[in-house]
Amino acid sequence: MSVAVLKNSNARMAAALAALLAPMSALYAAPSTVDDRIAVSAQGSSLTGTGGGGGGSVGWLHNFDADTLLGVAAQYQALSVSHWTFASLNGAVTRGPGDQRYTFYGQADEGAGRDGPHAFKYRLETLGVTGTYFHQLSATVEDKQVNVETTRGNLPKVQLAYLWSPRIQTTVGYQHSFGGNLGTRLTTARVDVYASQVSFLAGGAIGQAAPSVLGINLTLGPRDLREGYVGVIKSLPSLRSELTCIVDYQRLSGGGGLQLTGDVNNPIIILPSVSKRWTGTINYVFHIGHHGT
């Protein structure tokens, strides 16, 4: 079992969701074009063969106007024998006419943690641009630099989203890493159903997750990832807030390899394994100022 693989996979999904929501959030700015929000989240996870883990975060989002967003956050996570803390800075700027808008966004996650007795750095940097055409079709090109423990590399992404009606949007994407030891190839899909008071989302990913390198002489091969998640977003107008609940399932299989010892003729064979993880996340967003519609 590789905890580091799961850490990187979870961070990737969280960052991907944040990058998706950041360009969209300007659409929900107050009529005054200024809006401040406080976001608080809590998370709990189970993991095969361990006691699982959990974590939480707190953040602040500020719309300077309807097209400019800045956010900061701090997050703590623990999983099995690992725990890590990091700070996030993200922003988005949208420009262009109504039928051809471009959103430029970025996010940096910087922190550190421990994997048992070993300390490690936690760094993710993301830059991307989303073009939205005729208020329906959106195309995203993104690049992410990953440096978490001994897992590092470059993870670009392309994504298409289409708004079929004011209430239904579908999104598909593809990620293929290069450089470093990520070895990641992922195809993703998501559907969002919007309503006045309650919205729903569901999605998943299939492909190859990042391998983990644990120490100098132990290398685990790439693992097959199967992931699915569902969520609900409840608007609470009387409280000037929204509540989001998401349940996520990940299944990692494979990961066989060799541990090289002093005797190269007698390496230790590591058998492929299966790791399953369930994660539940609750996120609460409170609008400090006037909450527009």
Q: Contact, 31 vs 107, CB < 8 A?
A: no
pLDDT in tens, 45-55: 998 888 889 99
The pLDDT value recorded for residue 273 is 72
What pLDDT, on a 0 to 100 scale, did the predictor assign at position 152? 86
What tokens were used for 267? 């390496």
In the predicted model, residues of the chain with pLDDT beneath 50 are 1-6, 9-32, 213-219, 258-262, 291-293
Name the class of domain 3-287: mainly beta
pLDDT of amino acid 109: 94
Q: What pLDDT shows up at residue 184? A: 87
Q: What is the pLDDT of residue 168?
A: 96
CA distance 136 to 49: 45
The DSSP secondary structure of 98-131, one letter per residue, reads TTEEEEEEEEEEEEEEEETTEEEEEEEEEEEEEE
| CA 63 – CA 156 distance, rounded (Å) | 27
Residue 272: the pLDDT is: 64
Phi, psi of 2 (to 5 degrees): -120, 105
What are the boundaries of each domain within the chain?
3-287
> pLDDT per residue over 71-110, tens digit each?
999 999 998 888 999 999 999 999 998 889 999 999 999 9
- Residue 273 half-sphere exposure toward CB, CA atoms < 13 A: 13
